[in-house]
Structure 1
Amino acid sequence: MSVSIIVDNVVKKFEDTTVIDKLSLQIKPGELFTLLGPSGCGKTTLLRMIIGFNSIDGGSIRIADKEVNHIPVSKRNMGMVFQNYAIFPHMSVKDNIAFGLKNRKLGKEEMEKRINDILRVVHIEKYKDRMPDKLSGGQQQRVALARAIVIHPEVLLMDEPLSNLDAKLRVEMRNAIRSIQQQVGITTVYVTHDQEEALAISDRIAVMNGGVIQQIGTPKSIYERPANIFVSKFIGTSNVMKATLKVENGEKYIQLSDTYQEKMANLKDQAKPGGTVLVSVRPQEFMINEEKVGLKGKVIRSMFLGINTHYFIELEQGEEVEVIQDADAVELIPEGATVYLKVKPTKINVFSSEDETTLIKVGGINESK
């Protein structure tokens, strides 16, 4: 049966430095929950606290409502998949997978059944007698995954498991991990710095920076409605521009240039007129229009990528923005050409220039459900 994980005000210090300070989150039974952030943000430290490799200096971690703070690693019934696979080079695939089962002193018949079952799940049955040096990186990672799952742990922890693979294998393995996790139904905590990877596999994501959770939500909610500028820039590509907030006849507008403004129907009441705001526009949220209305700019360079074209445009104000257009939407625009850009007001995000938090009215910015 899948279990929940509750992290309640945990603290972790290394000597005089606090790397995680009173962090809390709740992971649902059977969920694939990803800790996402740049190097040094505390995500691996938190993962190691959950499994017991790092001590907990404050707060508590509960698995299925049982506190595990002082339970040894060997007693926590968790499986771990490491960045470097950590499979034994002198053991065959089958023996690697059997290692944890032997430590649990399972009977031979039950052990054989579990090994054969997990070999089928991770699709490496035909390699069971091979040695690790005869396997590809992706196959070795499947062995590591099988070894972690075969012991029937309550929780599966994965620390940057795909970072040593090439781009094509990463896509293949992230799809495999998602499929296997759903099939097994095990509560999984996944650590990565790769935003695309996190968006592709997660039920929910916690975006971290400096040991602090910036936002928790589904991949879609975090991508579409980031809680602050950091999340907006870290998840995907965002063009961030300054604008002025205006109110006319009771309606709110963002003034993006002297001649261009857009009405915004979804701004919070705290958004006050006359002040400067930060507007985040993803490349696909720009529209190139032929009516000479919008932000005026010049095409600096372009990249044709098959289904779409990326344009890099220098605006009159001096800012450079990236714009993505469907390849068949407009004719290829030559470098040096003058264009006018409008934004999609229902898609863009607006942030306070003071604390850089969102001014968009949405449900579940920091959802925990």
Structure 2
Amino acid sequence: MSVAIHIDKVVKKYEDHTVINGLSLTIKPGELFTLLGPSGCGKTTLLRMIIGFNSIEGGAIKVDDQVINTIPVNKRKMGMVFQNYAIFPHMTVEENIAFGLKAQNVDKKNMQSRINEMMKVVRIEDHHAKKPDKLSGGQQQRVALARALVINPKVLLMDEPLSNLDAKLRVEMRNAIKEIQQEVGITTVYVTHDQEEALAISDRIAVMNKGIIQQIGKPENIYLRPNNLFVAQFIGTSNVVKGIVEKHQDGNYVVFNDGYREKLNNLVDTVKVGQQVLASVRPQEFVVTTDTSAIAGVVDKTMFLGINTHYFITLTSGEKVEVVQNIEDHAIIPEGTAVHLKVKPKLINVFDAASEMTLIKAGE
């Protein structure tokens, strides 16, 4: 049966430096929960606190209702998959998977049955007698995953497990990990700095920065409606364009440079006339238009990538933006061409310029 993980106001200090200060979150039973953020944000530190490699200077971590702060690593019933696989080079695939079972003194009959079952789950049964140096990176990661799961842990922890693989293998393995995790049904905490990987694999994501959780939510919610400017810029590509709020009888508007304005029906009621804002506009949320009242700019660089063409444009304000257009809808625009841009008002996000927090109504 899957377990929940409750992290309550945990603190991690190194001498006079506090990495995590009062962080709280709950991971639901059976979900694949991803800690996402830049290097040094505290995500791996938190993962190591959960498994017991790092001490806890404050707060509590519970698995269901049991506080595990002082429980030794080998008693926590958790499996870990590391960035560098950490499989033994002198052992075969089968021997590597058996390692944890031997430590648990599992009898030979049950051991072999569980090894065989797990090799089938991760699809490496045809390689059972091979040494790691005869395996691809993806196959080695499958061995590491099998070794972590074969001991029937309550929780599976994964620390940047795909970072050493090439791009094609990363996509293949992230799909395999998601499929295996769903099949086994184990509560999983997954650490990565790769936004696309997190979006593809996660049930929920916690975006971290400087030891603080910026936002927790489903991948689509975090991507479409980030809580603040940091999340908007960290998750995918986002242009930031300055604007000012106007209020008229028919609603709220954001005015961009050149006087171009768009009505936004989803701004919070507390916005004020003249409030300075930052609009986060993803490249596909710009529209190239013949309307000369729109934002003016010049195409600096054109990059054709098959279905889409990417344009790197300098606006008259000096702001630089990236615009993506579908090749079916537009002929390729030559470099040096003057263009005008509109935004898709229902899709863009707007943040207060001072606090950098969202000004979009919750749920819209």
Q: Which band: TM-score by shorter chain?
A: over 0.9
Deviations 1:84-131 (A, max 9, x none): 000011110000000101111112111111111111111111100001
Cα distance in 2 for residues equivalent to 1:311 and 1:71: 55
Q: Which amino acid aligns with 1:79?
A: G
Please state whether the residue corresponding to 1:88 is helix, strand or coil: coil
Contact 1:293 1:341 in 2 (8 A): no
Contact 2:258 2:294 in 1 (8 A): no
Contact 2:242 2:257 in 1 (8 A): no
Q: Is the aligned partner of 1:67 residue 2:86?
A: no
Q: Is the aligned partner of 1:40 residue 2:37?
A: no
Please state whether the residue corresponding to 1:258 is helix, strand or coil: helix
Cα distance in 1 for residues equivalent to 2:166 and 2:26: 33
Cα distance in 1 for residues equivalent to 2:255 and 2:291: 18
Deviations 1:125-163 (A, max 9, x none): 110000111111111000000000011100000000011
| Cross-structure match for 1:307 | 307
Tell me the TM-score normalized by structure 1.
Answer: 0.97
Contact 2:258 2:296 in 1 (8 A): no
| Cross-structure match for 2:105 | 105
Q: Which amino acid aligns with 2:347?
A: K
| Cross-structure match for 2:25 | 25
Identity %: 66
Cα distance in 2 for residues equivalent to 1:339 and 1:137: 46
Cα distance in 2 for residues equivalent to 1:340 and 1:134: 56
Q: Is the aligned partner of 1:217 residue 2:221?
A: no
Contact 2:258 2:295 in 1 (8 A): no
Contact 1:238 1:282 in 2 (8 A): yes
Cα distance in 1 for residues equivalent to 2:270 and 2:103: 59
| Cross-structure match for 2:360 | 360
Q: Which amino acid aligns with 1:153?
A: P
| Cross-structure match for 2:53 | 53
| Cross-structure match for 1:367 | none
Please state whether the residue corresponding to 1:360 is helix, strand or coil: coil
Q: Which amino acid aligns with 1:268?
A: V
Query: Could you tell me how far 1:363 is from its partner in structure 2?
Result: 3.0
Q: Which amino acid aligns with 2:82?
A: F
**Which residues of 2 match residues 112-127 of structure 1 at below 5 A?**
112-127=112-127
**Which residues of 2 match residues 142-157 of structure 1 at below 5 A?**
142-157=142-157
Q: Which amino acid aligns with 2:168?
A: K
Cα distance in 2 for residues equivalent to 1:55 and 1:363: 38
Cα distance in 1 for residues equivalent to 2:296 and 2:115: 63
Query: Could you tell me how far 1:250 is from its partner in structure 2?
Result: 4.7
Cα distance in 2 for residues equivalent to 1:291 and 1:239: 21
Query: Could you tell me how far 1:253 is from its partner in structure 2?
Result: 0.2
Gaps of 5+ in 2: none
May I ask how many residue pairs the two structures share in their alignment? 364
Contact 1:162 1:174 in 2 (8 A): yes
Contact 1:293 1:342 in 2 (8 A): no
Cα distance in 1 for residues equivalent to 2:50 and 2:233: 28
| Cross-structure match for 2:345 | 345
Cα distance in 1 for residues equivalent to 2:291 and 2:41: 46
